[in-house]
Structure 1
Amino acid sequence: MIKSIDLKDKQILYQLELDARQSYSQIAKKTKTSKEVVKYRIDRLKEKGIINKFVLMINGPKLGYSAYKLYLKLRNISEKELNIMINDFKKNENIAWIVTCYGKYDLIIGTIAKDNYESFEINNQIQKDYQKFIHEVTPLNHIDIRHQKRTYIVDKKRTDKYSPFWGGKTQNYKLDEYEKAILSKLCENARKPIIKIASELKSPVDNIHRRLKKLIKDKIIEGSKVSLNKGLLEIQSYKILLQIRFQSLQKEKEFFNRSYQQNNIVNVVRMMGSWNYELDIDVTNITQLNEIMTELKNNFAEEIISYDTLQIFKQYKYNFFPIKDQNPKYC
């Protein structure tokens, strides 16, 4: 599917997709090369802008957070004004994801909040601050998100049944100051070395290791992956917003299974709002997207009521824990 980089780069990107915190030596062993070559190639992919960042994936509901999205249709806004708006959103601690898109909407904002009331206040503040430029807002409440590994990077079928997950009932898992700081730093850069985190927090390395292991064991940290500039890889990204009515849990399970088997479907989201399902699909061209959607519509002809298609242009922020870096006083 990807033709703009060589096989070794694809293999390295795939390992980063599986676990971005793997060491150079671990990746080298799996890609049958040296750790020096792995480091050189990762640095080169970053310099070219192909690698945007390394993303730590956490399950927010365990920390008491729910996920929401705002789909914005804009009006009378210049490129300069749009950039000012986006930069403002990037500074907002409750905003985890920002992309521009083409279709029914122009901008999508992913937010996190403790409850619907807080989400309502965030939404209202955004509309108040930018009412001049916002023509329409459609809010959606996420139920859960299944992040599926991008095995298409190496033209491979999915075999690992585990997918990093955001969802479940909200809980009240208590993070101490150091755990918040660790999550904050790793969500900015999932490959940040523990020794560097320890130095910044003025903490023994063993203490950082211990807390990190605890966060993984307690399923706060679901995994890590690489965020790519897909345009440079000649990949087109689409978001499909669906209204689906399943007659049984078995039929919904079949939908999830078929989505898992289709390598190009990289996220499956259940929501409440104007649509109740969302698919993120990566393809090489619109023909491939049409083939995937035709197959889905044929297999779920009675269930799929309607859908809308958005093409994603550019990602400006992607952070599962956008809370500002903490400065703990002790460890």
Structure 2
Amino acid sequence: MYKLDKIDRKILYELDSNSRQPFSSIAKKARCSRVIAEYRVKKLIETGVIVSLSALVDAAKFGLTSWKVYVQLQNREKEVVEKVVNYVSNNKHIWWIIKCEGDFDLMFCFLTKNVHEFYRLLNDFQMQFSKYELRMEVTTHIDPDFFSRGYLVVKESHKVCETFLKEPVIEKVDKIDVEILKMLASNSRMPSTIIASKLNTTPRIINYRIKELLKEHIITHFRLIPNVNKIGMDYYKVMITLQNLNKIKESGLRKFLELHPNIINYSNSWGPWEIEFEAEIENFKALAELINEIRKNFSDIIKKFEFVLIYEEIKATNNFLEYMKL
């Protein structure tokens, strides 16, 4: 386990807020020198605490919808799991894949142009793997929000970007914008000088285009993806089924989830449950205490909780720009 000190935590918190900000800015907020900030980030990458620093591109701005598939297998023979994982890993329409323990064994996300395309892709999956399934659930990403990792600096969390994956639209982007998005989706810290050199233009033009992509919310934000297992924490996804819906209570629940320092995102859902959130938290006991607190405060609208422990994130890049014809 990698033990974080106060400076490490502040640096991670700043990268989580904006992973493209310059080291001088990070150093100032972390109260250390630029050299130390740069060294610490390099060390956190080398030790695997930082998995990636990337731009999150809103797929809805390219007319796409995100669908989530949860699978519980009848048995977990290594050969079966590997077969399923290999299949979804090689599917270009799937951008997030996790292995988990709990109510489900695997979860993966599709990006598709419409429900008919999703149906065809899911049907192809079912033709091959339904014989291994004990249970499968399908939901959609509806108005997800990402929150800051307040637990790193012991403070309440807050939204780090505008709500995204809203109703699909087609934004006008040119080839240069697309190439910029591809590079930043791979590495949000790629210098504008290098991007400009690759695209035969100037850093000033690149900076202007990035600013416009942010302004139009095509880039939602520059994010941090950590491996919290490396720092002795667990990563959970929790699904909540609601009852007796009440706008005031539901709004209160959403605000509670937004401010909690261990909850990193939230989304509405259409399917077997209405709300999903993800938490990076010390252990199962801490998760149980969090769930009990939510149940106590919002018992009149909560019907059921389900959850999984995410122990391996196989794929976490929305590389749809690599295969879309724009």
Q: Give the TM-score taking structure 1 as reference length.
A: 0.90
CA distance 1:322–1:153, shift in 2 (3 Å): farther
The aligned runs of 1:204-243 (5 Å cut-off) are 204-243=202-241
CA distance in 1 between partners of 2:132 and 2:183 (Å): 33
Please state whether the residue corresponding to 1:165 is helix, strand or coil: coil
Q: Using a 3 Å threshold, how does the CA distance of structure 1 residues 287 and 79 change in structure 2: closer, same or farther?
A: same
Residue 64 of structure 2 is matched in structure 1 by 65
Offset, 1:260: 1.6
Could you say if the C-alpha distance between residues 325 and 33 of structure 1 is closer, same or farther in structure 2, counting changes exceeding 3 Å?
A: farther
Quote the Cα distance in structure 1 between the aligned partners of 2:3 and 2:92: 36
Deviation at 1:82? Answer: 3.5
- Give the direction of change, closer, same or farther, for the CA distance of 1:17–1:326 in structure 2 (3 Å limit): same
Contact 1:180 1:326 in 2 (8 A): no
Distance, in Å, in 1 between the alignment partners of 2:76 and 2:12 is 37
Map 1:244-255; keep pairs closer than 5 Å: 244-245=242-243, 247-255=245-253
CA contact (8 A) 1:145 1:269 kept: yes
How far is 1:246 from its partner? 5.0
Q: 1:119 is matched with which residue? A: 118
Query: Which whole-Å CA distance do the structure 2 matches of 1:31 and 1:108 have between them?
Result: 36
Cα distance in 2 for residues equivalent to 1:163 and 1:32: 25
Q: Tell me which amino acid in the other structure corresponds to 2:18.
A: D
Tell me which moved more, 261-270 or 78-87.
Answer: 78-87
Aligned equivalents of 2:244, 2:318: Cα separation in 1:
30
CA contact (8 A) 2:98 2:108 kept: yes
AA partner of residue 198 (structure 1): A
What's the secondary structure of 1:238's corresponding residue?
Answer: strand
SS in 1 for 2:66: strand
SS state at 1:275 partner: coil
Change (3 A) 1:41 1:87: farther
Q: Which residue of 2 aligns with 1:103?
A: 102
Q: Please list every run of 5 or more consecutive structure 2 residues that lacks an aligned counterpart in the other structure.
A: none
**1:24 corresponds to which residue?**
23
Matches within 5 A, 1:161-200: 163-200=161-198
> Equivalents in 2 of 1:187, 1:132: separation in Å?
36
Structure 1 residues without counterparts, runs of 5 or longer: none
Deviations 1:18-59 (A, max 9, x none): 100011111112112222111111111111111101132233
> Which residue number in structure 2 is paired with residue 153 of structure 1?
152
Equivalent residue number for residue 322 of structure 1: 320
Instruction: Write the letter of the residue equivalent to 1:254.
Output: G
CA distance in structure 1 between the partners assigned to 2:244 and 2:149 by the alignment = 27
Q: Percent identity?
A: 27
Give the Cα separation in 2 of the matches to 1:124 and 1:27: 47
